[in-house]
Amino acid sequence: MNWLRERWSYSLTLLTVCWFGWICIYLTKSVVPPLLPVLSAEWGMSHAQAGMLETAYLLGYIVVKVPAGMLAERMGARRVLAVGILGYAASTALMGLAGGFIAAIVLRFLVGFFQGVHLPVANALLSERFGAKQGRAIGFHESGPNVGNALAYPLAVAIASAFSWQWAFILLSIPAFVLAAATYALVREEPREAIKSERGTVGGLRAYIWLLAPLTLAYSAYGLCLQSLFTFTPSFLVEYQGMDLATAGLLATLLPAAGFFAKVSSGFVSERMGRRATICGATLVTGATVGLLTVVHGDALIAALFIVMGLGMYVFSPVIYSTITSSLPSGIKSVALGVVTIFGNLVGAFSTSIVGALIDAGGYRTALLSMSGITLVTTVVVFFALGRRATSS
């Protein structure tokens, strides 16, 4: 094992800890969707109310985004990350004790609040640590959600089937408690003097509006599709496609599983195709495949469609993040990441409730075709808005 110790570095330690952070985030976040049919029946929720669980989560996730970067500079990234992990671990475990819809809304808000710390703080740390190779590092880092999501769906169903839905929340929170201790022990506090002194020499975010505005629009389309599909895919497969819960949970894992490969390869793809083409290609594939869900039937065809959709949709985030971190000065990277993702997450937050209401009013076909149309229009707007300038970085 000497060769491993010689080749291993603190940069890889940081990347590994942050990657496991995403896995634990999605292990705890993704407990709800596969259990939604059970929770809806037990608590008497409509689709719109079910969507509000994700809305509450995302509102918590949003409000902490910009303050998280500021807190990391004042308190240190290690402390902020560790406290965030501990907070969402405890909030998820308490979901196992939730007695109804109102308690679940409050706890999902807290889960989102504590999880919102990770993205701006971790990506800023990785950008500073990996420099020119940050696109590949962030691409690998962003594959963590897909691993956590793919694990959470079958595990949540298996635990709920063997014991109860309450135990699914409790048991899937345990890895996060372990990671909180590991983060505090392994992550170093980086010197911030250079970053603080640089802040006075930049023109702020307004100087980069030409880049941030179209990236925000693209991220909003990502938020619409990701959060809506995340929330309603198992229910769609059960109610619209007539599958049993176990089959629906298994097929739903294909989206994040395919997304794992999309994220890991995103850095290489954007280096060859350019960021503009990569982002717009992702929106085009996502919009088209969401629309096709209304006409495709059968386990095999849906599985194939989910794989294509996952390969397209999950390219969005790492390319957008690396574009921001490689284009902006160090002093405003975490704030810019927070601002862009805030708008995208706001769209995602309200889209789950709106899409749920569309399902109640017009069925899954109406909801999915609406999502598809919005995403395809976004593709055209972002393509012309980015132009050539964003691809030069």
Give the tens place of pLDDT for each residue, 363-383: 999 999 999 999 999 999 989
What is the Cα–Cα distance from 114 to 124, expressed in whole angstroms?
Answer: 17
- What's the pLDDT at 345? 74
- What's the pLDDT at 3? 39
- What's the pLDDT at 6? 44
Each residue of 130-141: pLDDT tens digit?
766 777 777 788
- Please report, rounded to a whole number, the percentage of residues in the chain having pLDDT higher than 70: 89
Residue closest to 117 by CA, chosen among 76, 84, 83, 70: 84
What is the Cα–Cα distance from 171 to 365, expressed in whole angstroms?
Answer: 36
CATH class of 10-189+203-392: mainly alpha
| Choice between 203 and 201, residue whose per-residue pLDDT is larger | 203
Each residue of 156-176: pLDDT tens digit?
888 988 988 889 999 999 999
Q: What average pLDDT is seen over the chain?
A: 81
Q: Which residue has 């880049």 as its token pair? A: 211
What is the Cβ-side half-sphere exposure of residue 90, based on CA atoms within 13 angstroms?
Answer: 10
> Domain extents for the chain?
10-189+203-392
- What's the pLDDT at 284? 93
- What's the pLDDT at 298? 86
User: Residue 151 above 80 pLDDT?
Assistant: yes
Each residue of 60-102: pLDDT tens digit?
887 887 677 667 777 777 888 899 999 999 999 998 888 788 8
What is the Cα–Cα distance from 108 to 92, expressed in whole angstroms?
Answer: 8
**pLDDT-derived band at 2, boundaries 50, 70, 90:** very low
**Count of other CB atoms within 10 angstroms of residue 3:** 7
| Max Cα–Cα distance, the chain, nearest Å | 63
**The dihedral sign for the CA sequence 141, 147, 148, 150:** positive
The average pLDDT across 331-350 equals 74
**pLDDT-derived band at 283, boundaries 50, 70, 90:** very high
